[in-house]
């Protein structure tokens, strides 16, 4: 799997292109994808639920004009976008709330079966204007979306989506598959399965400067040992690390804001950006193959690339560790 993402340590998470939190114009969205390409980004991650197909459509509009062999394209299954319409505000997104209320009004059908997986892939290929996908994740089979029902959704996926994706990978139709979630537990269970062999996991929000303790207990060491790649989503913790108001898709608590302020104060003392610290912290873990921050403005892409290449003095990481702002066992950049 690392070969697939070799040289693509910085990817582009396209949730904001689905009008997450706010409505953006097609022009702004397409300019952002163009900027990502021009800045050398060749790993693009999307999902049907991002605006009920809106992010996939916008991404496909630009990438369909680029050489297909030059980039890695990842999307997700578990939800099928229908032609029938519904009120986006009526959707139950669990702890994520109504973050895509400004997206398209197409009805979203939840289906983690084999048939649902194949239908989701077919629709994604249409929206993305492509004939193939590189990585496919089973999306959101976790507590934050389904509460106590998440285990039954996982079991449906195990006998449905997991098996068909495993087969498609073995047949060469896709290059890799895994699950994409905002919680550690589903990944830990999936890693222990015998009947299927996931290649990679997209972990959003659980391996950031603000939140990484749980992932370090078992998941990250096991992934590194077994050569299973972790792709880190949400490295800026829904934006609160880089000046935004959200943490975990909700308004950040005073405690989180205070922790961010402490990190920022140390970063200011060492004359570095928090964005650089966030990206480089995630990539310092040997299990991490790529990090995929989101963006909805072209200028943000240039900032991400600059942050990835920014020189951070070891004294910054030493102070972060001494102030107990990162876990004692968290790998730090050298």
d(CA 163, CA 181): 18
First to last CA, the chain: 24
**What number is the average pLDDT over the span 122-136?**
98
SS (H, E, C) 199-227: CEEEEECCCCCCCCHHHHHCHHHHHHHCC
- Residues with a catalytic annotation lie at 45, 50, 76
The pLDDT of residue 6 is above 70:
yes
- Tell me the whole-structure pTM to 2 decimals: 0.97
Domain boundaries, the chain: 12-323
pLDDT at 250: 84
Confidence bin at 2 (pLDDT 50/70/90): low
Assigned CATH for 12-323: 3.20.20.100
Model confidence over 196-235: pLDDT tens digits? 999 999 999 999 999 999 999 999 999 999 999 999 999 9
Range with lowest mean pLDDT among 24-28, 99-103, 195-199, 274-278: 99-103
* DSSP state for residue 242 in the 8-state scheme: G
d(CA 145, CA 137): 16
Contact predicate 103/52, CB 8 Å: yes
Confidence bin at 249 (pLDDT 50/70/90): confident
H or E element at residue 110: strand 106-110
**What number is the average pLDDT over the span 126-155?**
97
Q: Which residues neighbour 227 within 8 Å (Cβ) at sequence distance 6 or greater?
A: 2
């Amino acid at each position: 799997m690392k070969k697939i993402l070799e040289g693509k340590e910085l990817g582009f998470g396209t949730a904001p292109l689905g009008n997450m939190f706010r409505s953006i114009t097609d022009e702004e969205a397409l300019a952002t994808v163009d900027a990502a390409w021009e800045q050398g980004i060749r790993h693009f991650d999307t999902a049907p639920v991002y605006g009920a197909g809106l992010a996939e459509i916008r991404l496909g509009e630009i990438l369909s004009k680029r050489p297909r062999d030059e980039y890695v394209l990842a999307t997700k299954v578990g939800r099928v976008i229908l032609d029938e319409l519904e009120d986006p505000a009526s959707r139950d997104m669990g702890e994520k709330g109504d973050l895509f209320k400004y997206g398209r009004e197409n009805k979203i059908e939840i289906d983690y079966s084999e048939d649902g997986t194949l239908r989701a892939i077919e629709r994604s290929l249409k929206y993305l204007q492509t004939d193939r996908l590189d990585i496919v994740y089973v999306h959101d089979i976790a507590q934050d979306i389904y509460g106590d029902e998440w285990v039954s959704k996982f079991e449906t996926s195990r006998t449905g989506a997991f098996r068909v994706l495993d087969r498609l990978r073995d047949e060469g139709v896709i290059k890799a598959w895994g699950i994409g979630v905002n919680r550690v537990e589903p990944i830990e269970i999936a890693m222990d399965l015998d009947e299927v062999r996931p290649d990679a996991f997209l972990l959003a929000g659980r391996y950031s400067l603000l939140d990484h303790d749980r992932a370090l207990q078992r998941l990250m060491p096991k992934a590194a040992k077994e050569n299973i790649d972790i792709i880190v989503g949400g490295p800026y913790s829904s934006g609160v690390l880089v000046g935004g108001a959200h943490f975990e898709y909700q308004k950040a608590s005073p405690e989180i804001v205070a922790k961010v302020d402490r990190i920022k104060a140390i970063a200011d003392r060492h004359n570095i950006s928090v964005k650089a610290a966030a990206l480089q912290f995630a990539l310092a873990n040997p299990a991490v193959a790529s990090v995929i921050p989101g963006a909805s403005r072209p200028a943000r892409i240039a900032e991400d690339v600059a942050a990835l290449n920014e020189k951070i003095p070891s004294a910054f990481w030493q102070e972060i560790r001494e102030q107990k702002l990162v876990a004692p066992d968290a790998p730090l950049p050298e």
